[in-house]
Amino acid sequence: MSDSFDPNTLDVSADHVIAGCRVARGGAEVPVLRPSDHAGIGVIRDAGEAIVDEAVRAADVALRSSGWASANPLERAAVLRRWADLVEARRIELARLESATSTRPIAETLARDVIRAAGAIRYFAEFADKIEGTVVGTGPDDTCMVVAEPYGIVASITAWNFPLINAVWKSAPALAAGNAVVLKPSELTPFSAARLAELAVEAGLPAGLFNVVQGLGATTGSALVRHPLVRKVTFTGSTATGARIMADAAATGTKPVTLELGGKSPQLVLEDVRDLGPVATHVANGFLANAGQVCTAGSRLIVPRRRADELIERVAGLAAARRPGPTWEDGSTLSPIVSERQAQRIERLLAETLAAGAEVVTGGRRVSTRNAGATFEPTILRNVGEDSVGFREEFFGPVLAVYPYDDEEQGIAMANHPLYALAASVYTDDARKALAVPRRIEAGTVWINTHGRQPGYGHPQGGFNHSGFGKEMGRAGLESFVRRKTLWHSHG
């Protein structure tokens, strides 16, 4: 049975969600376009300072009146489990909403995005009663305890590439730990976050603990981060925007920030690999998933020189089999670029990289489709110099740069980027090297004989250097939403 659907039949609403209610007020109207065909879906209203203040104060009232922060953690867990059940029960509705209004194909949203979102909520629900403290050794007349407390109000700002999953990764652990959340989704993909918040209230979350404000980063996002009642900020997006968020977070008094930012993730193939067939599959998936619009995209292939041509040929063949098409059409396997602006940016970066001496092996142009949306050919480049923009900046599109090396030490050195350190992968048949080489690569995650986040919720994600700091998912993802307090009792 086909999973295709008509996107024009969807009930799409782009209101803010404050204290459990839809709010249509705000400032300037911002049009929202479907990436697949650039058809208008509707508009959002830029929340700005007034609506942001209303949402944050609603969160403050909800925290005080509901007792959520001090509630029995088993009660918080029960609410989150009901929330996950509702997300799963509305799987088709959420998957279609996500596909029609983002770059995610319907086959992916049905089989992965919604299911993994519900799974992540359940994962953090089970952690709610496992936020533990410690008793520190003292003399007999004293007792010292270290306890965990929620921050209070968390400002969450999400990227456009995996809207539903990004929203869950930031909201579920924060709520499980006893916080309230005010979430600003990307203005390019604003819809699923609002529906997610409504389902949370339907599941029994006290109204006001999960609010959604729509709008632009420079106005609504900045106002949210700068709000004096916000105690913690978490953001996923570009490195440049991350730097601005850090400045905003310091404007009204320092507050902790978790940032997952850009990457130029290497895929390092070692000399000992015997069969390049499986490697080619992982390499292709690593740079083509969501058309390369993934922070951890494996955009740099580092391969022994004598085997480079063979691997490039294999990867190019797999890339050529990708089928462009609208995200609501079953069988589409090459995602559209999220916007015309982003497509033009890819073209500009590519032109500058080629002008600096790089060569196109395959691709390099837009795909001609029956839709008005921008789709880019899978592109493989050679001779991308380290002084070119193609090395320094992420394309955030389906572009792979190939770097042949002559010995293993050179290959490892090439894997370490001077700026970014989000993720990497190493392909090897040698069990010893499978453990030794990843330790020499500076990256928050190193996959071995695969590339890309694997199923499961216990492994944290986050980068170093210009790729950000702090972790999401796993126990570390939960810990980022609590602060530790020392209690010293002198009773002698």
Domain presence at residue 461: no
Domain presence at residue 38: yes
Q: Is the pLDDT of residue 150 over 80?
A: yes
H-assigned helices in 145-211:
163-176, 191-202
pTM: 0.96
Query: What are 280-295's pLDDT values in tens digits?
Result: 999 999 999 999 999 9
Residues 234 and 272 both lie in one domain: no
Domain count, the chain: 2
Residues 353 and 220 both lie in one domain: no
Let me know if 98 is a catalytic residue.
no
Domain presence at residue 138: yes
- CA angle at 465 for the pair 461 and 468, rounded to the nearest 5°: 45
What CATH number does the domain containing 448 carry? 3.40.309.10
Token pair in block for residue 82 = 């009901």
DSSP 217: I
Residues 44 and 135 both lie in one domain: yes
Q: Enumerate residues 6+ apart whose C-beta is below 8 A from 320.
A: 362, 378
* Residues 25 and 51 sit within 8 Å (Cβ to Cβ): yes
- CA angle at 264 for the pair 262 and 269, rounded to the nearest 5°: 150
pLDDT at residue 114 in the model: 98
Residues 89 and 182 both lie in one domain: yes
Domain presence at residue 2: no
Residues 253 and 324 both lie in one domain: no
Of 374, 399, 189, the C-alpha closest to 301 is 399
Residues 320 and 253 both lie in one domain: no
Domain presence at residue 492: no
Domain range for residue 177?
A: 7-261+467-487
Beta strands in 25-65 (DSSP E): 29-33, 40-45
Query: What are 28-85's pLDDT values in tens digits?
Result: 999 999 999 999 998 999 999 999 999 999 999 999 999 999 999 999 999 999 999 9
Q: What percent of the chain has pLDDT over 90?
A: 95
What CATH number does the domain containing 78 carry? 3.40.605.10
Residues 308 and 449 both lie in one domain: yes
Residues 250 and 348 both lie in one domain: no
Residues 286 and 163 both lie in one domain: no
Find the catalytic residue in 98, 260, 347, 479: 260
